Amino acid sequence: YIIIYMTSDEKHKKNIRFVALKIWELLFIKKNKLSDIFRNDKSFNSLNSKDRSFIYFLIHLALRNHNQIKFFLKKFIKKQVSKNLYFLDGILLLGTAEIIWSRTPHYAVLNSYVDLSKILCGVKYSGFINAVLQNIVRQKDNLSSSNWDIKNNYPKWMLNSWEKQYGKIKTTKMLKVLNKEPYLDIICSKKMNIEMKNNLIKFLDGHEIHPNVIRSNYKGKINDILYFNKGIWWVQDLSSYLHIEYLLKFLKKINKNNEFLKISDICAAPGGKTFQLLDNGYEIVSNDINKKRLNIMSDNLKRLNFKSKLISVDGRTYKFPEEQDIIIIDAPCSSTGTIRKNPDILIRNNIIDLTKLQRIQQELLKNAASNIKVGGYLMYIVCSLEKEEGEDIVNKFLETNTNFQILNLNQYIQDLKTTLKLNTMGYLKFLPIDFKALQNDHLNGNNGFFSAIIERKF
């Protein structure tokens, strides 16, 4: 008999790995989104910053390398693991990820997962877990140095789409960026003074990558960030921020007399676009069909001391009380531009229904068009890298709505002084490789976004 004594630290790590496995259950069995789990799970949010960072790192690591881990495990598992033993699958995946890509001592990883397998799967499976993970430890050097193509971690339909649209070289570069750990972007309100901004940069150990945009590796709780209760910053990715900055530059040119504009954001939550417009003095009506997300947005509006009318209706059918000057449509999409932050997309997009998403996007544009003034503007946005959800949707809309035209506004892009570029048709696209300005390469890159501003002519 071998008696294993666990230190208090090892017991603590076992408990942390148990929380990670519960998150894995919510992902794979209950099909929850990773971002929603991290925001709502009480077990995760009750942990200290260090433990949260460990789980965040481990889950992202296992998701980004999911197919590779499965490939490794096939070498040591001859029979298929029963789908009913989903914790067993989670233990194998997380344990393998931790052994190969983390610096945790192997004995600590083995002890924790073998012990957890007894609790979650039954004693008879603990020997199986021990044997497989022991083999992973023995073969670690061979496995980690194996000639694995990062492309194999991505759905084939997605790769084919990107290579066709962007070419193989650019696609490979994008994959390398998307495979990095995510960063955190904080947007500073105009209410923040320079001293406060400098204090915030120091607190986050971050960089001001664009005027009023701070990027960092911060992994702690959002409400622990400096000045949280003062309501002078919010979380929003640089890519999303720049697309609305582009709109704001345009609005200032066409609205020189500061006339009141009727503006609606019909897919508003979690709220970044609305916050930007409010911070620049515009009034806006914000809608989201998801009431839970709208409630979170409402809480953020209160924290930021912003006032905006919130409604929860279906943007595909809603009849506005009066015609609007500007309607922003940040449409539901495959979200492939956000894989770096949301790697669970990689395990969902094998079965994603692009046709269904395209239908929703078309319906949102069609209804918005019926509620816009002559001389008004639609701004269509998706956080997708797929042409089918960006250019194709806008082109199809323009084919059937000849009273609308896309605007090619290069002068406003130049005002932003960024790497953003309009193509010849007037579409604005920000790829994951389009931001590279820092010496710390880990903090380079960005989410992928597409947008177009469309004017109603008559």
Helix axes 86-101, 106-120, angle to 10 degrees: 180
Mean pLDDT for 405-429 is 75
The highest-confidence range among 64-73, 193-202, 240-249, by mean pLDDT, is: 193-202
- Residue 324 sits at the vertex; the CA angle it makes with 265 and 271, to the nearest 5 degrees, is 10
DSSP state of 120: H
Amino acid at 183: Y
Q: What pairs with residue 283 in β-bridges?
A: none
> What is the share, in percent, of the chain residues with pLDDT greater than 90?
73
The span from the CA of 101 to the CA of 115, in Å, is: 21
The pLDDT confidence band at residue 4, using thresholds 50, 70 and 90, is very low
Rounded distance between C-alpha atoms, residue 226 and residue 181, angstroms: 23
pLDDT tens readout for residues 41-50: 999 999 988 8
Whether the pLDDT of residue 1 is over 50: the answer is: no
Single out the residue of 450, 41, 32, 40 nearest to residue 246, CA to CA: 450
Tell me: pLDDT of 420 over 70.
no
Query: Where residue 349 falls among pLDDT bands split at 50, 70, 90?
Result: low
Q: Cα–Cα distance between 132 and 109 in angstroms, integer?
A: 13
Separation in Å, CA 365 to CA 327, 329, 333, 422: 10, 7, 13, 21
Three-class HEC string of 152-191: HHCCHHHHHHHHHHHCHHHHHHHHHHHCCCCCEEEEECCC
Residue 72 pLDDT > 80 = yes
Across 128-142, 217-231, 319-333, 403-417, least confident range: 403-417
**Does position 332 have pLDDT exceeding 60, yes or no?**
yes
CA atoms 66, 68, 69, 75: torsion sign: positive
Give the pLDDT score at 5. 36
Helix axes 391-400, 354-369, angle to 10 degrees: 40
Tens of pLDDT, residues 237-256 = 999 999 999 899 888 888 76
Decide if 389 contacts 336 (C-beta within 8 A): no
Pairwise pLDDT comparison (351 vs 340), residue with the higher score: 340
Tell me the sheet residues that pair with 379. 328, 453
pLDDT tens digits, 309-320: 999 999 999 999
pLDDT in tens, 99-128: 999 888 999 999 999 999 999 888 888 999
Report the percentage of the chain scoring pLDDT > 70.
94
45 backbone dihedrals φ, ψ, rounded to 5°: -75, -10
Q: Is 310:298 a contact under the CB 8 Å cutoff?
A: yes
Give the pLDDT band of residue 221 (cuts 50, 70, 90). Answer: confident
Q: What is the pLDDT of residues 141-191, one digit of tens each?
A: 888 777 889 999 999 999 999 999 999 999 999 999 999 999 999 999 999
User: What pLDDT shows up at residue 8?
Assistant: 60
Contact of 146 with 100, CB cutoff 8 Å: no
Q: Answer for the pair 40, 68: CB distance below 8 angstroms, yes or no.
A: no
135-154: b or e for each residue (b if 16 or more CB lie within 10 Å)?
bbbebbeebeeeeeeebebb
In this structure, of 72-76, 83-87, 259-263, 395-399, the range with the lowest mean pLDDT score is 83-87
Report the alpha-carbon distance of residue 108 to residue 9 in Å, rounded.
Answer: 10
Q: What is the pLDDT of residue 455?
A: 95
pTM of this structure: 0.91
Please give the C-alpha separations between residue 309 and each of 239, 262, 264, 274, in angstroms, as whole numbers. 25, 12, 10, 11
Q: Closest Cα partner for 56 from 185, 220, 237, 223? A: 220
